[in-house]
Amino acid sequence: MPETSQQHADPFAQFQAWFAEAEASEPADPNAMIVVTATPDGRPSARAILLKGVDASGFVFYTNKDSRKSDELAANPAVFLLFYWKSLGRQVRIEGTVEPVTDAEADAYYATRPRISRLGAWASQQSRPLESRSVLEGRLAEYEALYPGDEIPRPPYWSGYRVLPERFEFWQNMPYRLHDRTTYARGPDGSWVTGKLFP
């Protein structure tokens, strides 16, 4: 039976180690994650989003603040993240809550996006009904004319969230479905308490 990977005392260090391996092995979008939100009455909603930042305080993604996910997060800040790296036989599950990123953080990330992506943030009324693709293309053309150069301000409704983890689970595929599952839960004093789960 193969050895499990080194276990770090800090879940962020564990994530960074696994993420580095995923970046080296996954054929596309190793930073893709499933983000699960819920309505106030508990109806779940899931979608794939790209992770755009991680540090010792949390996991950052960006979106239109008028989107369905943002509406749900405004009503219920609980969130669940799932990373699955098939080439490594690994997944990471993260439970927590969200807080908004600062305007400075959102501005800095927005400035790194390709020009068309920045214009697309203006053109798209994310999650709202779209009559036809030509309507979106027409709106994009309008904003291309409005902002002909590279100076494109960030829309006031476009920003990001930081997921503040309360619990992690690192799952490693093992032979005969005897998988290795390591948990980290934040204790009352803010430290991380590790544990194992049956597969």
Which regions in the chain score pLDDT beneath 50?
1-2
Say what the pLDDT of residue 161 is.
98
pTM (predicted TM-score): 0.92
Structural domain contains residue 76: yes
Say what the pLDDT of residue 40 is.
86
Say what the pLDDT of residue 70 is.
96
Q: Are 18 and 92 in contact (CB under 8 A)?
A: yes
Say what the pLDDT of residue 79 is.
97
Structural domain contains residue 106: yes
Structural domain contains residue 124: no
What interhelical angle do 133-146 and 115-123 show, nearest 10? 120
Structural domain contains residue 135: no
Say what the pLDDT of residue 1 is.
36
Radius of gyration over every alpha carbon of the chain, rounded to an integer in angstroms: 19
- Domain span at 57: 11-113+155-197
Structural domain contains residue 130: no
Structural domain contains residue 122: no
Return all residues near 102 (Cβ < 8 A) that are at least 6 apart. none
Say what the pLDDT of residue 177 is.
94
φ and ψ at residue 111, rounded to 5 degrees: -65, -20
Cα 54 → chain centroid: 9
Taking the C-alpha atoms of residue 98 and residue 163, their distance in angstroms, rounded to an integer, is: 4
- β-partners of residue 159 are 63
Structural domain contains residue 148: no
- The amino acid sitting at 31 is N
Structural domain contains residue 192: yes
Q: What would the two tokens of residue 27 be?
A: 């054929």
Task: Assign residue 36 the CATH number of its domain.
Answer: 2.30.110.10
Taking the C-alpha atoms of residue 107 and residue 96, their distance in angstroms, rounded to an integer, is: 25
Structurally, how many domains does the chain consist of?
Answer: 1
